[in-house]
Chains A and B, each alone.
Chain A
Amino acid sequence: MRKDSFLWLTLMSSFIVLLFVTVPLLRMLTAPSLASLWETIRDPEVYRSIWLSLYTGVSAAVICFVFGTPLAYILARSEFRGKKLVEAIVDLPIVIPHPVVGIALLGLVGKNFWLGRLMHEIGLRIVGSPSGIIMVMTFVGLPFYLQAAKEGFASVSPRLEYVSRSLGASMFSTFIHITFPLAWRSILSGIIMCCARAISEFGAVIIIAYHPMIAPVLMFERFQSFGLRYSQPVAVWLIVVCLLLFLSLRLVGGGRRAGRGSRA
């Protein structure tokens, strides 16, 4: 009896949790009429903002991939003093409130700091520019990439690296031929997670760059000026485009390596 009621309780609460996530999304997706969706995507302001969101998000993920991969590998492979501290630092962007991130970065690249003035003098515009948006997105997306890549590297047995080196491969060759391909699926997941997190950022971005408008900022503005019905279609388009992007990344990236048997 008690076992039965316990089972019902767990099922019911699981169901409620799932509804809580899916219902608002479904409601939003189905709210705009096809006509308003069509009209929205023909609006240059909308597709420009979605395109800006996509390419800044992807750029942030690529930057995380290039600069984060070595750190992820070190964190997965070696034990050293202060490793816990490094891991805590890497996770900071997750726990800091988003506007705080924006303010912190603005303090660095704004005109009241020498670095910002220097960048301004050599013509590098961060505030109110796509590079500023990419910087913010990289900051908030980095922990997601590092975590996934680290787990990927940790799942590759060090023995495979040992064998590779005993066969004459240098550390670098071993990384290229063995470790990286075997960790690739996790790395790809990390890239997608990082990209998704970057595109969803709002609070930090509006402090660095209200204009040019990324899609979330445009949604916010339309909601403020015209109301819910004008911001919903933009949201639908952003979600659809992002899903297509991530799906194609999975297909392209997964297809090349994954078909070849399981990871032992």
Chain B
Amino acid sequence: MSLRIENLTVDLGQFKLENINLTLETGDFFALLGPTGAGKSVLLEALVGLVPQSAGEIYIDERRISGLSPEARGIGIVYQDYALFPHLSVLDNIRYGLKFNTKKSGVAHPPKAAAATVVNELSSLLGLNHLLHRYPATLSGGEQQRVALARALVVKPDILLLDEPLSALDPNFRQELRGHLKNLHAISGATFLMVTHDFSEALSLARHAAIMAGGGIEQSGTIEDIFRRPTTAVVADFVGMKNLFKVEFSDDAAYCGEVEFRIGRRPEPGSGYIAIRPEDLILSKNQLVSSLQNSFKGKISAVRSHGFFYEIDLTVKTLTFTAVITNHAFFDLNPVVDKYLYLSFKATAVHLF
């Protein structure tokens, strides 16, 4: 179902969320990004109903949920530290929510027989069948987070909030759980809202995103838009990598339209983007004879001065690259719009998502 946040304001004394407006479409996977202290977690708690809001409205479809108690909202939450009930077995954790038959709430509880099926399906899907009788303290981080996901989804929430679900995990588990999240999102049909400070996580999972800073939304839109067309300095700074392209992978190469990138390795399954930091692009007047595996001739489409450095936009066939050069290099290259320059970078400078 869709989630609509209108002019939401939360005043916590030292910290304030002001005038938050966001819309999540039905079945969306939405990433909420931003530096630490931006107010992401406060926004989640306001959505669940754990911190009181001082103004604004929240709707799930046309149901107004602002002012309802947490148990009546139909919003699930999964925390970074898993927050499993330590005194209950994995199975009892997963089916905990099924005990509460709250007819008033938006939580649609399946009937008893169906409940067992739901528990079964989720635990098979997440590979938890052999853990059902263990207690949370004996599980690894990845296992605990899978239990937390199953527990949240068993009651079929309209909206599932994920508060940095991957950041406490080892890199191996993180990759695995990313796959699970993608899968669960597709199967459950719930709308996911994930808080993260890791852009690659957002890129690999989410369709839409918003960047928060200082208690407000800086920008929201599709992931690609935010990445490539930041509207505020805060977003540009946060995003960092400007050269983002949606690509098709084939072996150790990536194709975006007619442009071929050498990436020197195979992408992880499910990847679909590459990105290159502007400072990793090397510009030259003549084609470099070097070991750099990627080299293109590009037409200068824009030159912007930033005081200590310059940003140069180069068009290569259908793509636009942004490079950063020092003032010194600027005088050497003397870049003028519509002139041509060569653009090179290492295969290892290409980030895959």
- Of residues 207 through 264 on chain A, the ones whose CB sits less than 8 Å from some CB of chain B are 257, 260-264
In the complex, whether A168 has a CB less than 8 A from a CB of chain B is: yes
> How far is B87's CA from A263's CA once the two chains are assembled, in angstroms?
7
A166 touching B87, Cβ below 8 Å: no
Of B76, B135, B138, the contact of A167 (CB 8 Å cutoff): B76
- Does B87 lie within 8 Å of A165, measured CB to CB? no
- Contact among B69, B87, B105 for A260, CB-based, below 8 A: B87
Residues of chain A within 8 A (CB-CB) of B86 are 182, 261-264
Bound Cα distance A264, B71 (Å): 24
Contact B136 A164 (CB under 8 A): no
CA distance in complex: A160, B87 (Å): 11
**B149, CB-defined interface residue at 8 Å:** no
Instruction: Judge if B107 is at the interface, Cβ distance under 8 Å.
Output: yes
Evaluate contact between B76 and A166: CB separation under 8 angstroms.
yes
Instruction: Say whether chain B's binding surface is mostly helix, strand, loop, or mixed.
Output: loop
Mark B59-88 against chain A: 1 for CB-CB distance below 8 A, else 0: 000000000011101011101010111110
Asked if B125 is at the interface of the complex by the 8 Å CB criterion, the answer is: no
Report how far A151 CA is from B314 CA in the complex, Å: 63
Instruction: Let me know if B137 and A261 touch, CB within 8 A.
Output: yes
Which B residues from 8 to 50 make CB contacts under 8 A with A? 45, 48-50
CB nearest to B101 among chain A residues:
A168
Contacting residues of chain B (83-137) with chain A, CB-CB under 8 angstroms? 83-87, 96-97, 99-100, 102, 105, 107, 109, 135-137
Contact B70 A165 (CB under 8 A): yes
Would you give the shortest CB distance from A160 to chain B, in whole angstroms?
Answer: 6
A91–B87 CA distance with the chains assembled, in angstroms: 32
CB distance from B50 to the nearest CB of A (A): 5
Chain A residues positioned under 8 Å from B155 (CB to CB):
167-168
- Are A164 and B96 in contact (CB-based, < 8 A)? yes
Bound-state CA distance A107–B81 (Å) is 54
Distance of A152 from chain B, by nearest CB (Å): 13
| Chain A hits for B107, CB < 8 A | 168
A162-B48, A165-B69, A261-B136 known; A173+B100 contact, CB < 8 A = yes
Number of cross-chain contacts by CB at 8 Å = 86
A231 to B133, CA, bound (A): 55
Is residue A14 within 8 Å, beta carbon to beta carbon, of the partner chain? no
B194 at the interface (CB under 8 A from A): no
Asked if B71 and A170 sit within 8 Å, CB to CB, the answer is yes
Contacts of B193 in A (CB 8 A): none
* Residue A81, interface by CB 8 Å: no
- Chain B 292-320 near chain A by CB (<8 Å), digits 1 or 0: 00000000000000000000000000000
Contact B137 A169 (CB under 8 A): no
Contacts of A166 in B (CB 8 A): 48, 70-71, 73, 75-77, 152, 157
> How many residues of B are in contact with the other chain, CB < 8 A?
34
Among candidates A162, A170, A181, A182, residue contacting B77 with C-beta atoms closer than 8 Å: A162
Q: A257-B87, A261-B138 are in contact. Are A162 and B50 (CB under 8 A)?
A: yes
CA distance A164 to B98 in the complex (A): 11
- Please give me the residue from chain B that is nearest to A173 by CB atom: B100
A157 in contact with B71 given A167-B152, A169-B99 (CB within 8 Å): no
Known: A160-B85, A182-B87, A264-B84. A168 touches B100 (CB 8 A): yes
Are B83 and A159 in contact (CB-based, < 8 A)? yes
What's the least CB distance linking A132 to chain B, in Å?
40
Instruction: Provide the bound-state CA to CA distance between A182 and B83, in Å.
Output: 13
Chain A minimum-CB-distance residue to B80: A159
Is B151 located at the chain interface by the 8 A CB criterion? Answer: yes
Q: Output the nearest chain B residue to A168 by Cβ-Cβ distance.
A: B100
**Given the complex of chains A and B, what is the CA–CA distance between A182 and B88 in angstroms?**
10
Q: How far apart are the CA atoms of A261 and B84 in the complex, in Å?
A: 13
Which A residues between 147 and 164 are near B, CB-CB below 8 angstroms? 157, 159-160, 162-164
Instruction: Flag if B97 contacts A168 (CB, 8 Å).
Output: yes
> B138 touching A163 by the CB < 8 A rule?
no
Say yes or no for A28: interface residue by CB 8 A criterion.
no
List chain A residues, Cβ under 8 A from B135: 260-261
Q: Is A25 an interface residue (CB 8 A)?
A: no
Tell me whether A165 and B71 are in contact (CB under 8 A): yes
Chain A: minimal CB distance from B298 (Å):
51
* B100 and A170 form a contact (CB under 8 A): yes
Q: Are B87 and A181 in contact (CB under 8 A)?
A: yes
Task: With CB as the reference atom, state the residue of chain B lying closest to A156.
Answer: B86
Distance from A145 Cβ to chain B, minimum over Cβ atoms (Å): 22
Is the pair A168, B105 in contact by a Cβ cutoff of 8 Å? yes
A167's nearest neighbour on chain B, judged by CB, is: B97
A159 contacts across to B, CB distance below 8 A: 79, 81, 83
CB of A35, distance to nearest CB on chain B (Å): 50
A-B contacts, 11 of them at CB < 8 A, read A157-B83, A163-B79, A163-B85, A167-B97, A167-B151, A168-B102, A168-B105, A170-B100, A170-B102, A182-B86, A182-B87
Q: A167-B76, A261-B137 are in contact. List 19 more A-B contacts (CB 8 A).
A: A160-B83, A163-B77, A163-B79, A165-B48, A166-B71, A166-B76, A166-B157, A167-B71, A167-B155, A168-B71, A177-B96, A182-B87, A257-B87, A261-B138, A262-B86, A262-B137, A263-B87, A264-B86, A264-B137
